Amino acid sequence: MEISPFGDNLTIIISCENQLIDHWLSHASWYSIVKSLPHAKVKVLAKRTEDANLYFNWCSRRDINCYLYNDGIVQEVVDRNKYSKKPYLIIPASVMAIREFDENWLDVLNGKKSLIIGNNMEFWTDSEEKEVYGNNDLCCDVTDSSVTTFVQYGDFGNFVCREWINKRGSFARKIEPKTTNESKVIDLWNRSQSAINL
């Protein structure tokens, strides 16, 4: 079964730590996937901490599987515990989907090889073949104007993640985006934060 532009036949696993900022970032990442790759399945995998029960409550309200793990390499944890069937894509919580997959990436993803992509992203299939795919045409930095499916973001311009988590209202008027990717992240962040407590 082929992966489609909108994520059919693909599971995306959001990998993160278990801190307050990861709670917010993983929700924003999930929200962006729902909007840009609506047919993909989404799961969250967070490293267990003593505060494990404080965060990720949004997952149960959205019927999203959230797994906590003690230690290990994410891909090995997923496979050992059978958290997901392959193929799956592992992304950090600080990555948002802002567009559907383009034809070039569909050819790569449907090529059946496992890939280490760059920007801490990994794509795993049943194949023993693994390829390092280090360019950034699937995921670029938010300040880059490249047209990619995913963007890695953190702080840019007046957007400082740790200052904007858990704030009510929109902050878009205070930020002047310099790229289309920044505009998309700001829009998705605002909409996701409005939806986190629904």
Q: Which residues pair with 15 in a beta bridge?
A: 45, 92
Q: What does pLDDT average to over the chain?
A: 86
10 Å CB burial of residue 124 (0-12, 13-18, 19+) is: buried
Instruction: For 8-38, give one letter per residue: b (16+ CB within 10 A) or e.
Output: eebbbbbbbebbebbbbbbbbbbbbbbbbbe
pLDDT level of residue 190 (50, 70, 90 thresholds): confident
Distance between CA 112 and CA 29 in Å, rounded?
25
Higher pLDDT, 99 or 198: 99
Which whole number is the average pLDDT over 153-164? 67
The H-or-E segment that residue 30 falls in is helix 20-36
Q: Does domain 11-195 have CATH number 1.10.3470?
A: no
pLDDT level of residue 92 (50, 70, 90 thresholds): very high
Please enumerate in sequence order all residues whose Cβ is within 8 A of that of 83, keeping only pairs 6 or more positions apart, or say none. Answer: 13, 43, 45, 65, 67, 77
Structural domain boundaries of the chain?
Answer: 11-195
Distance between CA 96 and CA 7 in Å, rounded?
14
pLDDT at 5: 97
Which whole number is the average pLDDT over 46-69? 83
Structure-token match 């995913």, residue found? 150
